[in-house]
Chains A and B, each alone.
Chain A
Amino acid sequence: DTEVTQTPKHLVMGMTNKKSLKCEQHMGHRAMYWYKQKAKKPPELMFVYSYEKLSINESVPSRFSPECPNSSLLNLHLHALQPEDSALYLCASSQVAAGVLTGANVLTFGAGSRLTVL
């Protein structure tokens, strides 16, 4: 299995809702990532988990709360979002948990979750 699976594919939520995005990989990768992508822009890194511990938080607002229950799963909990948070949220994973993207330690991306905040 060489895939990163993200659910749901589409999510519409109000500003007072609480929802979660889920990501799963079964490649034995020990680093997992959340990226945010706005239309016609490159992805922007949000969080990095290494061996199920948060190693990078790119100063993301607390209304986004990541969770890594085990080495295969990554969640992004959403609460009190703003309309400007509407975007494509991409999950990725890589082999090496040290985090340095060298050699063959490349990112494998999921198909993304399209979030619309009303």
Chain B
Amino acid sequence: KQEVTQIPAALSVPEGENLVLNCSFTDSAIYNLQWFRQDPGKGLTSLLLIQSSQREQTSGRLNASLDKSSGRSTLYIAASQPGDSATYLCAVPETSGSRLTFGEGTQLTVNP
């Protein structure tokens, strides 16, 4: 059964810092990996999707990488801003069906 782990569980940084969020998964036979952002009490917003054949995806100040062989993905946030404060979740689909396996999330706080 796929297990997804995110480290750290919480992170607090001053504004302007570059930071890295980590996601690891136990079964490397994944189709893709998706990073989501969730603001408190809100739904999930998809940030980046990396296909299994890709090594990275970029969107603005966000860059996600994928290393299937080692079962790892990272989300790099450049020049962090207070508006980046949220919980970041990574998720991979189970190979056999419709289920997404989520990590527990990293709660990010960017201080002005």
The answer on a CB contact under 8 Å between B41 and A103 is no
Known pairs A103-B51, A106-B34, A109-B43. 18 more at Cβ < 8 A? A6-B43, A31-B98, A40-B107, A42-B104, A43-B44, A55-B98, A56-B97, A56-B98, A99-B97, A99-B98, A100-B31, A101-B32, A102-B32, A102-B93, A103-B32, A106-B49, A109-B36, A112-B41
Residues of chain A from 59 to 113 with CB closer than 8 A to chain B in the complex: 88, 90, 92, 99-104, 106-112
Q: Which residues of B contact A (CB under 8 A)?
A: 31-32, 34, 36, 41-46, 49, 51, 89, 91, 93, 97-100, 102-105, 107
| Sample (14) of A-B pairs whose CB atoms are under 8 Å apart | A41-B104, A42-B102, A42-B104, A42-B105, A45-B98, A48-B98, A90-B44, A103-B32, A106-B34, A109-B43, A109-B44, A111-B42, A112-B41, A112-B42
Q: How many residues of A contact B (CB 8 A)?
A: 30
The answer on a CB contact under 8 Å between A106 and B97 is no
With a cutoff of 8 Å between Cβ atoms, the chain A residues found around residue B91 in the complex are: 42
Interchain CB contact (< 8 A) of B31 among A40, A43, A103: A103
The answer on a CB contact under 8 Å between A101 and B98 is yes
With a cutoff of 8 Å between Cβ atoms, the chain B residues found around residue A110 in the complex are: 43
